[in-house]
Copies of this chain bind each other. A is one copy, B any other.
Amino acid sequence: MTQTGILYGIGVGPGDPDLLTLKAVKALGEVDVIFAAASTKNDYSTAYAIAEPHLKKGVRVEHLGFPMTKDQDELEAAWKKNADIVSKVLNAGENAAFLTLGDPLTYSTYGYLQRTLLKMDPSFHLQAIPGITSFQAAASKIGLIMTESKESLLITSGVADPEELERQLDVADNAVILKAYKNFEDIRATLEKLRLDDKTVLVSRLGMEGESILMDIKDAPKTPHYFSLALVKKNKR
């Protein structure tokens, strides 16, 4: 009987190919198959573009379609289909890598794939390899000390409910709001209400063309770019 392969869930970091870890690069050089999540509308995968300089020449690449929908049934059907594709590779004894932006266990599509695969067969050998998150890269870029000593740091997303966001921002010392383009006017209103707007930096398109860093979120347009995150620092000094 063939031994089943290993699936590595690889965090490729926020954009710069040099922000991959050595561990991720080594795994990429050893696997038989690369899986890249992409929209079902086109085959483009940002994670693939970041990892590309580190791939073996001629390695097999498969794109897994991920529909941009909120329909839970449609999403689950897509993940079941993707997990089937991955499981066939693993059951054939091949090793594979699933590429994901940032970190594989922090707001990543890898989580869904891992859960679906383990439901199919709990004995699958899955191994996540951590990656640098977008907010770490943003904080490094501007030298913002995200948290120190007794302080806490809350990480949340623009898709969260506005009331939840308010409750959470109220108790945490510092915060990161990912996908800040979602519900942006609500986010800005909440920050204003808590008098945190001038303590919030909005970073858009980090490291890409058109990069924008606004040290006061008040100065932001009504609809910031899709690649935007907010860094909230109550004790800004």
Contact = CB atoms under 8 A, between A and B. Distances in A.
A78 interface: no
A114 B140 CA distance: 12
A182 to B, nearest CB: 10
Contact of A147 (B145, B155, B171): B155
A145 B113 CA distance: 11
A10 B13 CA distance: 16
Interface residues of A, number: 56
Contacts of A164: 150, 152, 171
Nearest to A130: B136
A20 B108 CA distance: 21
A35 to B, nearest CB: 17
B160 A105 contact: no
A128 B143 CA distance: 6
Task: Report how many copies the assembly holds.
Answer: 2
Contact of A139 (B127, B128, B136, B151): B128
Contacts of A147: 105-107, 155
Contact of A155 (B23, B145, B155): B155
Interface of A: 13, 16-23, 25-26, 103-108, 111-112, 114-115, 126-132, 136-137, 139-140, 143-157, 159-161, 164, 167-168, 171-172, 237
CB-based closest 7 A-B pairs: A130-B136, A128-B140, A152-B156, A18-B23, A111-B145, A153-B155, A18-B22
25 contacts: A13-B21, A17-B22, A19-B22, A19-B130, A21-B132, A22-B22, A103-B136, A105-B145, A106-B146, A107-B147, A112-B148, A114-B143, A114-B145, A115-B237, A127-B143, A128-B143, A130-B139, A151-B160, A152-B157, A153-B155, A154-B155, A154-B172, A155-B155, A167-B171, A168-B171
